[in-house]
């Protein structure tokens, strides 16, 4: 089976893996938006005591914070280096209810279908060749009645201006080349793929940033960064 991954994308994040937990590094935006994502997921799904899968977990920023909310978390990724960083940080932080695996989403879906109360897939879909395949696998991994969350970037001129020109070139918040505009996903496309996978959309939020105050917040504006909550029918 062909692995649904882009070698160049994996290499890009592997090269930065050692900086994943440095809040002043290229991953600073990730650290700053993480509490917003975490609270939104928790408010809908109620993480305490739940079995959670974090797809494309990278260095484990979201995985570890969900484990901190008393969830039993499995983080998966295909970057060996990022997972090494994630495991080391969890060890240093003495997080017990957390494990990491180097496995493709589709492969885990074949191995453990219907196993998780909550599945998260954040900032990953725009980095894989076939995002619909990942969404379908996430749906298979969720238990009946389970929650599946996605976040990605909208595809429109404003998103190009803010997420690429602004974030990568003007403000230098992200390394140049982090994102490719052609891979951005419109909410209508994401919603269609979710419905095709048997998931029912249950809410969405936009993520906004003010470069003057350097503050992020969730809003109803999904024109650039956005999050989508879905449920698998019970």
Mean pLDDT within 142-158: 96
Answer whether residue 175 shows pLDDT above 80. no
Give the CA count within 13 Å in the CB-facing half-sphere of 80: 1
What confidence score (pLDDT) does residue 12 get?
Answer: 75
Question: pLDDT class for 165, splitting at 50, 70, 90?
Answer: confident
59 secondary structure, DSSP code: T
Taking only the tens place, the pLDDT of each residue in 188-232 is 999 999 999 999 999 999 999 898 898 999 999 999 999 999 999
Taking only the tens place, the pLDDT of each residue in 61-71 is 999 999 999 99
Answer whether residue 168 shows pLDDT above 70. no
β-pairing verdict for 142-153 and 51-55: unpaired
Ordered alpha helix ranges (H), the chain: 7-15, 28-45, 61-67, 80-93, 105-111, 131-141, 157-159, 187-196
Answer whether residue 169 shows pLDDT above 70. no
What confidence score (pLDDT) does residue 162 get?
Answer: 79
Distance (Å) of CA 167 to CA 161, 198, 225: 9, 34, 12
β-sheet with 200-210: strand ranges across: 98-102, 72-77, 51-55, 116-122, 142-153, 225-231, 200-210, 215-219
> Alpha-carbon distance 205 to 140, whole Å?
24
Three-class SS of 20-49: CCCCCCCCHHHHHHHHHHHHHHHHHHCCCC
**Residue 153 or residue 4, greater confidence:** 153
Using an 8 Å Cβ cutoff, are 211 and 171 in contact? yes
Q: Flag whether the pTM goes above 0.85.
A: yes
Taking only the tens place, the pLDDT of each residue in 45-96 is 999 999 999 999 999 999 999 999 999 999 999 999 999 999 999 999 999 9
Residues 6+ apart with CB under 8 A from 210: none
Answer whether residue 97 shows pLDDT above 80. yes
**Residue 85 or residue 176, greater confidence:** 85
Mean pLDDT within 151-166: 87
> How many helices (DSSP H) and strands (DSSP E) are in the chain?
8, 8
Query: Pseudo-torsion of CA 22, 26, 32, 35, nearest 10°?
Result: -70
């Amino acid at each position: 089976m062909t692995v649904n991954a882009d070698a160049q994308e994996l290499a890009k994040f592997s090269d930065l893996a050692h900086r994943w937990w440095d809040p002043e590094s290229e991953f600073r935006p990730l650290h700053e938006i993480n509490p917003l994502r975490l609270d939104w997921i928790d408010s809908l799904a109620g993480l305490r005591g739940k079995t959670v899968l974090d797809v494309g977990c990278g260095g484990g920023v979201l995985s570890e914070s969900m484990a901190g909310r008393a969830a039993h978390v499995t983080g998966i990724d295909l970057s060996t280096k990022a997972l090494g960083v994630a495991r080391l940080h969890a060890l240093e932080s003495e997080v017990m209810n957390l494990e990491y695996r180097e496995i493709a989403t589709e492969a885990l879906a074949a191995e453990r279908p219907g196993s998780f109360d909550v599945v998260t897939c954040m900032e990953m879909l725009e980095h894989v060749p076939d995002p619909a395949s990942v969404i379908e696998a996430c749906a298979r991994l969720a238990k009946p009645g389970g929650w599946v969350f996605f976040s990605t970037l909208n595809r429109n001129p404003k998103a190009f201006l803010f997420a690429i020109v602004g974030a990568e070139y003007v403000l230098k918040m992200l390394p140049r080349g982090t994102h490719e505009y052609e891979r951005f996903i419109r909410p209508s496309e994401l919603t269609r793929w979710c419905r095709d996978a048997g998931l029912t959309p249950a809410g969405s939020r936009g993520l906004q940033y003010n470069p003057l105050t350097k503050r992020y917040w969730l809003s109803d504006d999904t024109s650039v960064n956005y999050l989508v909550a879905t449920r698998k029918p019970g």
